[in-house]
Amino acid sequence: MQPLTKKVKQVERKPMTFLERLYLPEIFKGMAITFSHIFKKVPTVSYPEQTRPFAKVFRGLHVLNRDEEGREKCTACGLCALACPAEAITMEAAERVRGEENLYREERYAAKYEINMLRCIFCGLCEEACPKDAIYLSETFAPANYQRKGFIYGKEDLLIPNPLTQPEEYEKAKGERAPATQ
Ligand code: SF4
Ligand code: SF4
């Protein structure tokens, strides 16, 4: 076929030299490169036994926050859902009834709260939009899962443990970038 441009280059296949036909020098060269890597610092991180330090701007799994008395802070105002560019957040509001003052800080609370982690882009806008300091992105990875439904995180997955009744679990879930409780 006639070439359209003059960019075509004819490549010559040169006959192999005696050393090249032996293959051994090339094998030794390759082995030398392999052995030189033995003495270099290993860049591999054996996750999950080892973890890399997080960047300051890292945003991980969402946490629904409680106040220092263990009450849920979220008022189900919906601002986080409105701010979310991926439409990953849904919730259902409920009214607090008498006797539930120790459970919910405000008169309204989120009876259901869901985040679809397959949609989430971890932008942090929900955290910024929240007027109640009720949601933040921790320094924890969202764990892997084999099923899509495993990435729909409900309130029970997101709510931080109660600091009064489960102080150890609370500290563990809080992460290093947790906002101060109010
Ligand atoms: S981090 Fe961004 S994408 Fe994810 S739920 Fe919050 S606002 Fe939506
Ligand atoms: S997490 Fe914050 S912004 Fe979202 S519904 Fe609750 S109080 Fe409102």
Q: Residue 172 corresponds to which amino acid?
A: K
- The DSSP output letter for 151 is G
134 in ligand 2 pocket by Cβ < 6 Å?
A: yes
Give me ligand 1 centre to Cα 154, in Å.
15
Assigned architecture for domain 62-174: 2-Layer Sandwich (3.30)
CA distance linking residue 64 with residue 20, whole number of Å:
65
Give the pTM: 0.74
Q: Whose C-alpha lies nearest to ligand 2, atom 3?
A: 130
Q: Whose C-alpha lies nearest to ligand 2, atom 7?
A: 74
pLDDT (tens, 9 = 90+) of the chain, 182 residues, equals: 677 788 888 888 889 889 888 999 999 999 999 999 998 988 888 888 888 888 888 899 999 999 999 999 999 999 999 999 999 999 999 999 999 999 999 999 999 999 999 999 999 999 999 999 999 999 888 788 899 999 999 999 999 999 999 999 888 887 655 554 44
Residue 152 pairs in a beta bridge with 116
Each domain of the chain, given as residue ranges in start order, spans 62-174
Q: Whose C-alpha lies nearest to ligand 2, atom 8?
A: 77
E-strand ranges in 47-133 read 62-64, 89-95, 108-116
Is 120 annotated as a binding-site member? Answer: yes
